[in-house]
Amino acid sequence: MDSAQAIIRGIAADKGLYVPESFPELPVSTAALVGKSYREIAGIVLSQFLTDYPEQELKACIDRAYDDKFEDPEIVPMVKAGGAYFLELYHGSTAAFKDMALSILPHLLTTAMALEKEEKKIAILTATSGDTGKAALAGFADVEDTEIIVFYPIEGVSQVQERQMTTQEGANTHVFGIKGNFDDAQTGVKKIFGDADFAEELAAKGYRLSSANSINIGRLVPQVAYYVYSYARLLEKGAVREGDPINVAVPTGNFGNILAAYYASRMGIPIRKFICASNKNKVLADFIASGVYDTDRNFYTTNTPSMDILISSNLERLLYHLSGGNGEEIAALMAGLDKEKKYSVSDTVRKGLEDFYGGFADEAATLNAISKLYRSDKYLMDTHTAVAYKVYQDYKAATGDETPAVIASTASAYKFADSVAFALGLEEEKDGFAYIRAIHDATAVRIPAGLQGLEDKPVLHKDVIDKDGMLEAVRASLK
């Protein structure tokens, strides 16, 4: 199957995820990337995966995606602080790393529809733990021949994240809060994708389903570009020489962001250790240590809500690659997860996991990391980035590994303003928007444009449903 078809479909008919048939190598040396813009490097990376996209059309997708909606001219600036390099992925319109892929996915999708001569409308169905929802809504709002439907857990996102979604304009946007957690939303979306009868019903109405979650390969591949870019920037800064390895630390819930780093390594970026940072919901950290993925455990609501996840969809892709492409083996593992809430991987997969380090930071450690780094370096992290930085520090203390490290900085501190304000020792405020103002007064860190005046925007989406009502909500949205 070509990449355009995979992007349109989002998820395979057997509920599996699309992966590259093989990993392309970078067509140029890493030294040749030095001095190139983010758009240029994205073009190099995406052209190797999306080989059925004509060169000029792919360039147009990139140029439209990475334009002045990003507030920093570099698109992805890199800042040295606390003995590491923070790759700031949050300068897009929604102030979170999801903008990096969801700014381009609508363009990749509409181009794919043209390439495949797709006549049906595309209904984008997405579950979110906070940031994907707003970024998808912003990317697809009023895009011709698409509808975008987002489900989020009403008790599992920050006030700022919720307001970003519920104030989204666009005649084709639909937002539903669900009474449940992110795993409930994600499971519900997958169930809808797997409902053949419902697919026929929608087809009769002129729709086909697709996804803006990172289960869509069109979401994952653009994320590879920023890890390639990070290595070029480290070369440019003289932090590494060509061929020297780096470490990458990523706050990880659904596993897509760290998987993109793994894909970058398979393209030729020398990454020594993938540091997988979890919060108190440390199913991934435990899995990397034991080879047993076990979701039969308590679920915690934390100050890093985008990581409050127990079922990490993109891990399935890594398991496939580490198994040597054994699809039957991975299908059996996923079936075991559905039935028994756990699985154990083979010795071959466990051997591949040796390149990964899993750790976690609880809420207190997360807040302490924010406070300490701001006091020492005046660098302000959001809670999720703080988890990655704390786990990186733990890794470094445990191993003595001085390899230069890139920290995936995934959101503006203002998106989780109440927790960040608490970490800084600021006084209690009435709501998340007052905390934004308080942090700005205390630090003078710029407030992202997309968050300014957010509390004054009218709420346009007010529906809250039971988790069992998701299919009916989709049906009602696609009349």
The whole-number pLDDT of residue 275 equals 98
Beta bridge partners of 292: 344
pLDDT of 426-445, one tens digit each?
A: 999 999 999 999 999 999 99
The whole-number pLDDT of residue 273 equals 98
Q: Please state the rounded mean pLDDT for residues 329-346.
A: 96
Q: Please state the rounded mean pLDDT for residues 336-359.
A: 97
Q: Which residues contact 106 (CB under 8 A, 6 or more apart)?
A: 139, 140, 143, 146
pLDDT of 81-121, one tens digit each?
A: 999 999 999 999 999 999 999 999 999 999 999 999 988 99
Domains held by the chain: number: 1
The tokens for 397 are: 């203390």
H-helix or E-strand containing 338?
helix 327-340
pLDDT of 390-413, one tens digit each?
A: 999 999 999 999 999 999 999 999
122 pLDDT more than 90: yes
Tell me, yes or no, whether 474 lies in a domain: no
3-state helix, strand, coil in the chain (%, to 5): 50, 15, 35
Tell me, yes or no, whether 42 lies in a domain: no
The whole-number pLDDT of residue 215 equals 86
**Vertex 225, ends 219 and 230: CA angle to 5°?**
135
Q: What is the DSSP string of 371-413?
A: HHHHHHH-----HHHHHHHHHHHHHHHHH-----EEEEE-B-G
Tell me, yes or no, whether 12 lies in a domain: no
Rounded Cα distance, 216 and 17, in Å: 8
13 pLDDT more than 90: no
CB 279 within 8 A of CB 387: yes
Tell me, yes or no, whether 473 lies in a domain: no
Whose CA is closest to 87, among 38, 26, 35? 38
pTM: 0.93
43 pLDDT more than 90: yes
Measured CA to CA in angstroms, residue 19 lies from 2, 12, 48, 101, 315 at distances of: 11, 10, 14, 17, 12
Tell me, yes or no, whether 426 lies in a domain: no
165 pLDDT more than 90: yes
Q: Which amino acid is at 119?
A: E
460 pLDDT more than 90: yes
Angle at which helices 105-115 and 131-140 cross, to 10°: 50
CB 229 within 8 A of CB 38: yes
Largest CA distance in the chain: 61
H-helix or E-strand containing 277?
strand 271-278
What percentage of the chain has pLDDT greater than the value 90? 93
The whole-number pLDDT of residue 18 equals 96
Residue ranges of alpha helices (H) inside 35-117 are 38-49, 55-65, 99-102, 105-115
Q: Which structural domain, as residue segments, surrounds residue 278?
A: 78-96+218-416
Tell me, yes or no, whether 208 lies in a domain: no
Tell me, yes or no, whether 23 lies in a domain: no
Q: Are strands 342-344 and 292-294 parallel, antiparallel or unpaired?
A: antiparallel
Q: Please state the rounded mean pLDDT for residues 266-277.
A: 98
Rounded Cα distance, 345 and 253, in Å: 19
Please return the burial class of 375, using the count of CB atoms within 10 Å of its CB with bins 0-12, 13-18 and 19+: exposed
CATH code for position 277 = 3.40.50.1100
Confidence of residue 132 (pLDDT cuts 50, 70, 90): confident
Kindly report the average pLDDT of the chain as a whole number.
96
Please return the burial class of 187, using the count of CB atoms within 10 Å of its CB with bins 0-12, 13-18 and 19+: middle
3-state secondary structure of 89: coil
Alpha carbon 97 to its chain's center: 7
The whole-number pLDDT of residue 130 equals 78
Tell me, yes or no, whether 2 lies in a domain: no
The tokens for 362 are: 């609880």
